Structure 1
């Protein structure tokens, strides 16, 4: 959505919040291989999801960066990004890469890689310390990017 809004000249977006984001249909990162057959969302689940979205185009040059943002050649001009991902999940490396590529263009990205976090950890274990910390970081970023503070949590 952020890439499309930039390329089409609007609407203006305050930010992009990416929580355990699925960004790369190629599924070839170190973390995608580390979490093959392990965890809530593994490499096989990821292949299935991308195939459901893209069909036979998955993994080919026909995939649009609007569907798989990791394929975008240019991440300049995007709104500030909040990128949050578990250290123990398939999406870790593509999330880190996305934030790094935004920084390379001079853009703003706040990256959190949560030690011990697995895919969807804050939803599955909302009372865990790591989940509370992730929620507080997300809430803080939203307050800053939206220009609101002091609201009840």
Structure 2
């Protein structure tokens, strides 16, 4: 089995931790900030908190990956973590650290595994540059969109 590949985003955001959390917690916002997401739909009536499940499709360059994920950790205004239950293996944890009424730090760790063997190695090499692009675009998008949501709500 191949090791997990970790991608980390740590960015200050001109918004409260509560605003940042609320924005990320709303699954309908994911396609707005997550570069490459083609769909992200609930598979349970529950759409937030531990136990909520979603089907996701992401395009990384020439490769389209699917996964069913479940929220495994959720603390209002503090943390949201998801883990894949089927498909592309991913664990994603988003932490929101309050620094003031108009400033927080978003600390996100995304771990993924493409599988072992030759096929896994080829897939890993194929998607690696697209993962880097996706992370940069996602970071830029999430920080600017949360700041805008904060200003619109202020």
Shorter-chain TM-score range: under 0.3
TM-score with structure 2 setting the length: 0.22
Q: Higher strand proportion, which one? A: 2
Q: Higher helix proportion, which one? A: 1
TM-score with structure 1 setting the length: 0.22
- Considering Cα pairs closer than 8 Å and 6+ residues apart, tell me whether 1 or 2 has the greater RCO: 2
